[in-house]
Amino acid sequence: MRRTAIFLLLAALLCSCNAISSLVHDDQVVAKVGDKKLYKSELERFIPNMIPAEDSARLAEQYINTWALDLLYLGVAESELSKGELDVSNELEDFRRSLLKYRYEQRYINDRLDTLITDEQIRQYYEAHEQDFALKRPVLKVRFVDVMKDSPNKDAILKMMSSDEYDDVQRADTLAKSTALRWFDSSDTWMDAGELAKSFGLDPVEMLDHLKGDMIRYEPEDRSDLMVAYVCDIRKTGTAPLDYCAARIRDILMSERKHELMNSLERDLLENALEKKNFVIYRDE
């Protein structure tokens, strides 16, 4: 009777565990490596909604293969590597230290970093380091349009986009946005010639070969469109304009402040530890 009762109890516990497992993984298995299973629900979390069926199938196959390879690599590594090679405790400790150090550094910087950089500070840095901002390529301020050659609005757009009158430019903007293939107005912002050349599908030298007066005009022979850039301003050589360099200077100044904070942190840690005898250097007499 006692043995029967124990058997019934174990059977009940087994059924209970199976029921719990079924609740947890009441899901279709889509792949298996050894005793590890990949369930459909996990796969679906990886695949974005509202994508074509062929893309969904490709991503699913990619995820399944990656999941399987990770487990297969782990299995062969655990079976083939020596006991010493399987011991990764030192590497894990090094990683833990690096991660904690990085997290504290970020918090230390975030708590103390002065993120306000004034225009005057940018100007002072620019004037003190002008040699660092020599132009490698021309920079331009332009209005660009890509319009069909037979468009009835072509001439009007080209005329108004090259006007100095605000109302004309606004009308060009409205007309180009509704009838042209592409349009952008960078007349207030400097643009590198290489960036502008991408809009023409040319390299910078080829693009500038098409500059006549204040217009860059390019008509591909095998296409039906016309690309034009009205050049509001251009700087070909010398030092890049201050407003073109401002974002870069801001990053430089911010990086310098972070570096100074890190030096201060390291210096304070060492000095405090030495003062409190927490850090001792033994020197030969």
pLDDT greater than 80 at residue 151: yes
- The answer as to whether 97 is a domain residue is no
The predicted pLDDT at position 285 comes to 64
- The answer as to whether 280 is a domain residue is no
Domain check: are 116 and 250 in the same one?
Answer: yes
The predicted pLDDT at position 26 comes to 59
**Cβ(133)–Cβ(126) under 8 Å?**
yes
Q: Could you list the residue range(s) of the whole structural domain that residue 185 is in?
A: 135-235
Domain check: are 67 and 154 in the same one?
Answer: no
pLDDT greater than 50 at residue 226: yes
pTM: 0.73
pLDDT greater than 90 at residue 233: yes
**% of the chain residues with pLDDT over 90:** 82
- The mean per-residue pLDDT over the stretch 138-142 comes to 98
The predicted pLDDT at position 49 comes to 80
- Chain mean position to CA 97: 27
* Least confident window among 11-20, 169-178, 249-258: 11-20
Strand partners, 140: 191, 234
The predicted pLDDT at position 27 comes to 77
- The answer as to whether 90 is a domain residue is no
For 33-42, write each residue's pLDDT tens digit. Answer: 999 999 999 9
- Average pLDDT of the chain is 90
Domain check: are 119 and 249 in the same one?
Answer: yes
The predicted pLDDT at position 76 comes to 95
pLDDT greater than 90 at residue 9: no
The predicted pLDDT at position 101 comes to 97
Phi-psi region of 223 (alpha: psi -120 to 50; beta: other; left: phi over 0): beta
Residues in contact with 153: Cβ distance below 8 Å, sequence separation at least 6, in sequence order: 147, 175, 179, 180
The count of structural domains within the chain is 3
